[in-house]
């Protein structure tokens, strides 16, 4: 009850600000975040050293979904830099998904048949501690405005490409003008049928889903798909519901991908609640990823055996369309691999 009330109160605090302001005011230090949550950093395994390698970044709209005073909050665990990140785990490395060798040219990753990824920006609105990109030199590879023409030519020249995926970083950090321009260019390519956006913003910074943004999507002649990234039902709020409904109402197909994370969602009930809550706001649970083994993320790992047991529990409780596919990313593979 208290939790709900504080959430509503916070929600009115930031609701008046536009998404750019909210982004600029995101928490960037352990102290400020802990203050907001009524926690003291000494009660946590928080690590300033870990935050130097990969900074803390959390929008207020996401922090407002955390339970105040709870050091084990599953949303806090996703964003708080901790000492475990500094330990070396065997088998963990800097480019676990093989994106570097799959980079066709600046900003273009062509590793899945029929689909290309455009890396439009290296940054995100939130820094997730388990991220496979945390050690990746995206700043060097991203598609600058200047290199965009070459990327469009690459897509034009390959008629096997039927889907263009805006990835990142987070593509929704681009301005509406940049996104509109990219979509307009792709509209001119007949063999591209679908444009897909992979973004965590509809969940962590739902103010990004403005009427203007939706209008630029609906102007496209292509089918538009949004793949959100939500790991726990507590990440959803009145604001994420508003954003999802607006997208859905305008014909955007919504899927979610989650990552299976120790201490966050490695529990059948939590995963069932997630599927139910997503579907209630119009999002279909699509993928449940095994962790990509990036340096600094070993403490989030859930074993394959445990993951398969969880899937069995979920299948016993939910209709098939609410059961996500358990998958893993294997370097060099031309598609995601299902785990069974």
Query: Interface residues with ligand SF4 (CB under 6 A)?
Result: 124, 126-128, 131, 133, 168, 170, 200, 229
Q: Which does 115 bind (CB under 5 to 8 A by kind): ligand PLP, ligand SF4, none?
A: ligand PLP
- Residue 324 Cα distances to 3, 104, 245, 271, 314, angstroms: 29, 30, 21, 9, 9
Tell me which of 167, 231, 237, 295 binds ligand PLP, using CB under 6 A: 167
Q: How far is the CB of 208 from ligand PLP (least distance, A)?
A: 19
What ranges in the chain are assigned the alpha helix state H? 2-15, 19-24, 30-36, 48-53, 60-63, 74-79, 138-141, 148-157, 176-187, 201-204, 211-218, 238-249, 268-280, 304-317
65 belongs to an annotated ligand binding site: no
Exposed, middle or buried, 225 (CB in 10 Å: 0-12/13-18/19+)?
middle
Name the one range near ligand PLP by CB under 6 A: 66-74, 259-267, 296-304, 329-337: 329-337
The closest alpha carbon to 161, from 133, 185, 190, belongs to 190
Q: Which does 294 bind (CB under 5 to 8 A by kind): ligand PLP, ligand SF4, none?
A: none
Q: Which does 128 bind (CB under 5 to 8 A by kind): ligand SF4, ligand PLP, none?
A: ligand SF4
Q: How far is the CB of 286 from ligand PLP (least distance, A)?
A: 7
Residue 22 or residue 167: which is nearer to ligand PLP going by CB?
Answer: 167
Q: How far is the CB of 124 from ligand SF4 (least distance, A)?
A: 3
Give the dihedral of Cα atoms 179, 180, 185, 190; nearest 10 deg. Answer: 100
Pairing between β-strand 108-112 and β-strand 115-119 as defined by DSSP bridges: antiparallel
The closest alpha carbon to 14, from 2, 27, 1, belongs to 27
Q: Which does 285 bind (CB under 5 to 8 A by kind): ligand SF4, ligand PLP, none?
A: none
124 belongs to an annotated ligand binding site: yes
- Residue 287 Cα distances to 80, 140, 162, 229, angstroms: 24, 29, 21, 10
End-to-end C-alpha distance for the chain, whole angstroms: 40
93 belongs to an annotated ligand binding site: no
Q: Which does 172 bind (CB under 5 to 8 A by kind): ligand PLP, ligand SF4, none?
A: none
Q: How far is the CB of 65 from ligand SF4 (least distance, A)?
A: 15
Residues in region 267-286 near ligand PLP by CB under 6 A: none
Residue 73 or residue 329: which is nearer to ligand PLP going by CB?
Answer: 329
Q: How far is the CB of 134 from ligand SF4 (least distance, A)?
A: 7
Q: Using the rule CB under 6 A, is 294 a contact of ligand PLP?
A: no
Residues in region 103-162 near ligand PLP by CB under 6 A: 112, 115, 117
The single-letter DSSP state of residue 292 is P
Contact by Cβ (8 Å): 283, 249: no
How many residues does the structure list for the chain?
A: 340
Dist CA 52 CA 47 (whole Å): 9
Pairing between β-strand 194-199 and β-strand 284-289 as defined by DSSP bridges: unpaired
* Contact pattern for ligand PLP over residues 171 through 210, marking x by CB under 6 A: ---------------------------x------------
Residue 27 pairs with which residues in a beta bridge? Answer: 58
Q: Using the rule CB under 6 A, is 47 a contact of ligand PLP?
A: no
Which residues line the annotated binding site? 124, 128, 131
Annotated binding residues for [4Fe-4S] cluster, written as ranges, equal 124, 128, 131
The residue ranges that bind ligand PLP (CB under 6 A) are: 112, 115, 117, 165, 167, 198, 329, 335-336
């Amino acid at each position: 009850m208290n939790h709900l009330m504080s959430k509503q109160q916070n929600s009115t605090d930031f609701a008046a600000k536009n998404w750019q302001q909210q982004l600029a005011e995101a928490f960037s230090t352990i102290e400020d975040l802990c203050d907001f949550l009524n926690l003291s950093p000494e009660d946590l395994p928080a690590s300033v050293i870990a935050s130097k390698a990969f900074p803390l970044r959390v929008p207020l709209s996401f922090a407002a979904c955390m339970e105040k005073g709870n050091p084990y909050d599953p949303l806090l665990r996703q964003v708080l830099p901790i000492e475990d990140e500094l330990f070396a785990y065997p088998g963990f490395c800097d480019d676990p998904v093989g994106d570097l060798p799959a980079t066709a040219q600046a900003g273009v990753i062509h590793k899945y048949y029929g689909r290309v990824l455009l890396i439009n920006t290296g940054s995100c609105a939130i820094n997730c501690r388990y991220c496979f990109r945390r050690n990746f030199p995206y700043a060097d590879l991203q598609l600058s405005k200047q290199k965009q023409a070459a990327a469009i030519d690459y897509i034009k020249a390959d008629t096997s490409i039927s889907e263009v995926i805006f990835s990142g970083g987070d593509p929704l950090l681009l301005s509406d003008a940049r996104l509109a321009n990219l979509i307009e260019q792709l509209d001119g390519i007949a063999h591209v049928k679908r444009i897909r956006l992979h973004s965590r913003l509809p969940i962590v910074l739902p103010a990004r889903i403005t009427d203007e943004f939706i209008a630029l999507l609906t102007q496209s002649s292509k089918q538009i798909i949004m793949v959100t990234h939500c790991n726990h039902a507590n990440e959803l709020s009145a604001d994420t519901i508003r954003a999802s409904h607006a997208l859905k109402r305008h014909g955007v197909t919504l899927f979610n991908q989650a990552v299976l994370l120790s201490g966050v969602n490695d529990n059948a009930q939590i995963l069932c609640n997630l599927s139910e809550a997503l579907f209630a706001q119009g999002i279909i649970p699509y993928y449940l990823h095994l962790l990509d083994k990036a340096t600094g993320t070993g403490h989030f790992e859930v074993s394959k055996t445990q993951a398969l047991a969880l899937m069995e529990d979920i299948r016993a409780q939910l209709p098939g369309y609410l059961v996500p596919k358990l998958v893993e990313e294997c370097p060099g593979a031309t598609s995601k691999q299902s785990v069974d």
